[in-house]
């Protein structure tokens, strides 16, 4: 019982904090002050960074192009840094190009899929200047896409200005929060240094321990739904997550900004009740998943793959939150989860990461589900369906469906590809349904821009790096581009006054319908995979095979 309460309490604390953060997010994105100290500071920072003042309003297309350019440049820079790091640190192993590209894609797409162990593969400088920079930029990109979508939904013709958004998101939200969190981590004993190794005698464990700027990277990896840990085992590593305080704070960081994005969405559109309904649907799905995992783990699960310091309940909450939020950091090994708990982690990712989801990405992904739900059920009220007063015509439904189904489609195709490639099959450590689960998990994690791994699968070969790179790119831009195309379609449309009877986007009925749509689409597209993987695994475990 106390475990159930712990799950609910955790959620309450997350949402409690998301409200003020969401309020602030709404302010800096949609109501940025025109005068006053913050405005002056912003102009001077903008001049410092770009040599110009505020960027002017961009059309949706210009915004999208700017974002893609920004991400592409980031990708190339990171790729270059990774390929060249051996130049300044000869102790590091050289990296194959496909491995470096995979890491670059992984961090630019906010996935942070890691086929490597960061502490022995990357220099502290690479981690800090390469990965951590992208941890900020990719997180800000997700929020920026949501901001552009929200503006057009509110009836604006322009999408805002990407550079303004990126600057403000990073400088006034992500950076201050990360610094505050990192300071707590340092106080709690998480290393923050540019020394690469802590040698035998001086380390607390009497062995040679790799260290580096851990605290700063861990703070943003949690807050920005990145998930790429400093250490290979992520937050299960005692230096990455040393105390119950760091554990609790990191769990909180998994969901707080994704939830705040929902709050900001509701505030910006003047639809608080709608945002509350969306949060309710997310919470219900999250709690249900967490409870199933908890029940399965307490009945079937052992302590294999878990840290005794952390225990079952916290491992379960973390696993549920990290897969729901497209974060991907872990404090327990998911491959060792009981099959049903593994099922939940996969189900969370199959939804396309909309149960809170990635920062920004969760809410814009959720918008696609909301539109589909409104389209199907709205017809039953006897009108052409509308979302927030915007008529859902054929032209507008096209990008919505592409954004919803392209990731699913790529999951199926990539899983099939992996099964067809002998080189990809060979690196799976087990066989039968559990092996299928490992492959499924890897693809789901990549396409869902999650980044967590089921373990048991060595993902460093050319087959898997290619599969996951494609998955990450499709999972990210296969949603962002359709979302912004939808935004382009609706930009400047006059918003109909809602005096007409419409399918209400708040209240219990809407919450039920939204949950129903998410679950139904998930079941319909993924049931065979899940039955052959984790469900069969679970049944086999029941008969002791």
Partner 1 sequence: MKSRPTQRVPDASAIRVAAIEGLRRITVKHLRRNIIMGLVAVGALITLATTLFQIVLGQPWGSSLAICFWLWFTVWSAMAAESFAEGRGKARASSLRGGREGLKARLLRGDKEYVVDAATLQPGDLIACSAGEVIPVDGEVVAGVAMIDESAITGESAPVLRSSGGDRSAVTGGTTIRSDSVTICVQSAVGHGFVDRLIALIEQANRQPTPNERALSIVLQALTAIFLVVVVTLPLLMWYAGVPANTTTGVVGLVALFVCLIPTTIGGLLPAIGIAGMDRLVARNVVALSGRAIEAAGDVDVLLLDKTGTITYGNRKASEIIPAAGKRHDEIARLAYLASIYDETPEGESIRHLVVDAYGPQEHPQQAADVPFSAHTRLSGIDLPASQSVTQIRKGAVDVIASQCEAAGNPVNEVLLTTASELARKGSTPLLISVDDLSVGLVELRDIVKPGIRDRFERMRQYGIRTVMITGDNPLTAATIAAEAGVDEYIAQARPEDKLERIRFEQVRGNLVAMIGDGTNDAPALAQADVGIAMVSGTQAAREAATMIDLDNDPTKILDVVDVGKELLRTRGALTTFSIANDVSKYVAILPAMFASMWPTLLPTSITEALNVLQLQTPESAILSAVIFNAIVIGLLLPLALRGNRDKGRRPEQMLRKNLLIYGLGGIVAPFPSIKLIDMLISLL
Helix boundaries (H) for 224-359: 244-268, 272-299, 311-324, 339-350
Residue number, 294 or 464, with CB nearest to partner 1:
464
Question: Shortest gap between Cβ of 451 and partner 1 (angstroms)?
Answer: 23
Q: What is the DSSP string of 26-78?
A: HHHHHS--SSSHHHHHHHHHHHHHHSSSSPPPB-HHHHHHHHHHHHHHHHHHH
Residue closer to partner 1, measured from CB, 45 or 409: 409
- Specify the residue, 312 or 430, whose C-beta has the smaller distance to partner 1: 430
Cα–Cα distance, 111 to 425 (Å, whole number): 23
Six-digit token string for 161: 């200005």
Query: Which is nearest to 441 in space by CA: 522, 289, 328?
Result: 328
Please, what is the minimum distance in Å from the beta carbon of residue 379 to partner 1? 3
Residue among 67 and 530 whose Cβ is closer to partner 1: 530
Q: Which is nearer to partner 1, 309 or 425 (CB)?
A: 425
Specify the residue, 205 or 379, whose C-beta has the smaller distance to partner 1. 379
Q: Which is nearer to partner 1, 237 or 396 (CB)?
A: 396
CB of 404 to partner 1, least distance (A): 8
- Identify which of residues 77 and 409 has a Cβ nearer to partner 1 in the complex: 409
- Tell me which residue has tokens 């950091």: 329
What's 334's DSSP letter?
A: G
Separation CA 332–CA 357 (nearest Å): 20
Query: How many whole angstroms separate alpha carbon 253 and alpha carbon 260?
Result: 11
How far apart are the C-alpha atoms of 218 and 189, rounded to whole Å?
13
Closest CB to partner 1 among 284 and 412? 412
Taking the C-alpha atoms of residue 393 and residue 324, their distance in angstroms, rounded to an integer, is 31
Supply 350's token pair: 């199959």
78 C-beta neighbours (distance < 10 Å), count: 25
Is the CB of 287 or the CB of 532 nearer to partner 1? Answer: 532
For residue 532, the minimal CB distance to partner 1 (Å) is 4
What's the closest the beta carbon of residue 152 comes to partner 1, in angstroms? Answer: 16
- Sign, CA dihedral 361-278-286-251, equals positive
Which residues in 270-293 are b (16+ Cβ under 10 Å) and which e?
A: ebeebbbbbbbbbbebbbbbbbbb
- Report the C-alpha gap between 197 and 483 in whole angstroms: 44
CB of 218 to partner 1, least distance (A): 36
Shortest distance, position 261 Cβ to partner 1, whole Å: 26
Shortest approach of partner 1 to residue 111 CB, angstroms?
22
Q: Tokens 């062995």: give the residue.
A: 207
* Count of CB atoms situated within 10 Å of the CB of 343: 23
Which residues of the shown chain bind partner 1 in the complex (CB under 8 A)? 372, 375-384, 389, 392-394, 396-398, 401-402, 404-405, 408-409, 412-413, 415-416, 419-420, 425, 431-433, 435-436, 439, 494-497, 499-504, 509, 513, 516, 520, 523-525, 527-529, 531-533, 536, 539-540, 542-543
CA 502 to each of CA 43, 57, 498: distance values in angstroms, whole numbers, following the listed order:
43, 32, 8
From the CB of 541, what's the least distance to partner 1, in Å?
11
What does DSSP say about strands 390-391 and 197-198: parallel, antiparallel, or unpaired? unpaired
Closest contact distance (angstroms) between CB of 476 and partner 1 is 19
Which CB sits closer to partner 1, 196 or 421? 421
* 397 CB-side CA count, 13 A: 12
Instruction: Give the integer Cα–Cα distance in Å for 520 and 511.
Output: 14
Residue 375 CB, nearest distance to partner 1 (Å)?
7
**Runs of H (alpha helix) within 154-271:** 162-169, 175-187, 214-223, 244-268
CA angle 349, 355, 356 (to 5 degrees): 120
Q: What is the nearest approach in angstroms of partner 1 to the Cβ of residue 494? A: 5
Smaller CB distance to partner 1: residue 253 or 533? 533
Whose Cβ is closer to partner 1: residue 206's or residue 497's? 497
Interacting residues of 35 by C-beta distance below 8 A, sequence separation 6+ = none
Contact, 341 vs 297, CB < 8 A? Answer: yes
Check: CB of residue 535 under 8 Å from CB of residue 339.
Answer: yes
- What minimum distance in Å lies between the beta carbon of 298 and partner 1? 22
Nearer to partner 1, 203 or 493 (CB): 493
Contacts of 240 (CB under 8 A, 6+ apart): 190, 214, 218, 229, 230, 231, 233, 234
Residues 6+ positions from 163 with CB-CB distance below 8 Å: 46, 50, 55, 66
């Amino acid at each position: 019982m106390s475990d159930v309460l712990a799950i609910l309490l955790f959620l309450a604390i997350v949402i409690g904090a998301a409200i003020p953060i969401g309020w602030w997010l709404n302010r800096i994105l949609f109501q940025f002050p025109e005068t006053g100290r913050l405005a002056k500071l912003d102009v001077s920072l903008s001049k410092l960074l770009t040599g110009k003042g505020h960027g002017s309003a961009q059309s949706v297309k210009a915004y999208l192009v700017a974002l893609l350019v920004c991400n592409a440049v980031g990708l190339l820079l990171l790729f270059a840094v990774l390929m060249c790091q051996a130049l300044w640190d000869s102790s590091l192993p050289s990296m194959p190009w496909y491995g470096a590209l995979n890491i670059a894609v992984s961090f630019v797409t906010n996935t942070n899929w890691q086929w490597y162990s960061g502490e022995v593969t990357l220099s502290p400088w690479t981690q800090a200047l390469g990965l951590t920079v992208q941890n900020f930029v990719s997180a800000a990109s997700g929020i920026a896409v949501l901001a552009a979508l929200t503006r057009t939904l509110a009836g604006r013709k322009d999408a805002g200005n990407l550079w303004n958004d990126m600057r403000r998101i990073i400088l006034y939200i992500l950076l201050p929060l990360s610094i505050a969190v990192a300071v707590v981590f340092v106080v709690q004993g998480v290393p923050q240094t540019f020394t690469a190794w802590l040698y035998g005698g001086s380390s607390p464990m009497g062995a040679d321990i790799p260290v580096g700027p851990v605290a700063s990277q861990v703070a943003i990896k949690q807050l920005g739904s990145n998930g790429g840990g400093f250490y290979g085992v992520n937050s299960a590593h005692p230096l990455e997550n040393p105390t119950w305080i760091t554990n609790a704070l990191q769990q909180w960081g998994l969901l707080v900004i994704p939830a705040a994005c929902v709050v900001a969405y509701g505030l910006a559109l003047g639809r608080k009740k709608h945002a509350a309904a969306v949060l309710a649907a997310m919470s219900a799905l999250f709690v249900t998943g967490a409870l199933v995992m908890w029940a399965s783990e307490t009945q079937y699960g052992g302590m294999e793959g878990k840290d005794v310091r952390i225990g079952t309940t916290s491992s379960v909450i973390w696993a549920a939150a990290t897969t729901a939020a497209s974060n991907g950091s872990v404090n327990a090994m998911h491959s060792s989860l009981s099959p049903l708990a593994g099922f939940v982690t996969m189900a969370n990712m199959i939804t396309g990461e909309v149960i809170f989801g990635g920062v920004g990405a969760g809410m814009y992904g959720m918008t696609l589900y909301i539109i589909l739900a409104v389209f199907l059920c709205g017809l039953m009220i006897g009108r052409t369906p509308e979302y927030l007063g915007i008529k859902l015509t054929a032209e507008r439904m096209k990008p919505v469906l592409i954004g919803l189904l392209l990731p699913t489609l790529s999951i199926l195709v990539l899983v099939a590809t992996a099964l067809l490639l002998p080189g990809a099959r060979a690196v799976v450590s087990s066989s039968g349904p559990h092996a299928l689960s490992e492959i499924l998990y890897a693809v789901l994690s990549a396409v869902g821009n999650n980044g967590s791994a089921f373990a048991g699968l060595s993902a460093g070969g050319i087959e898997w790096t290619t599969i996951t790179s494609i998955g990450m790119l499709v999972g990210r831009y296969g949603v962002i581009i359709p979302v912004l195309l939808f935004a382009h379609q609706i930009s400047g449309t006059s918003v109909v006054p809602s005096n007409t009877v419409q399918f209400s986007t708040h209240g219990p009925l809407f919450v039920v319908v939204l949950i129903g749509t998410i679950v139904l689409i998930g079941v319909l597209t993924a049931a065979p995979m899940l039955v052959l993987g984790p469900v069969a695994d679970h049944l086999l475990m029941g008969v002791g095979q």
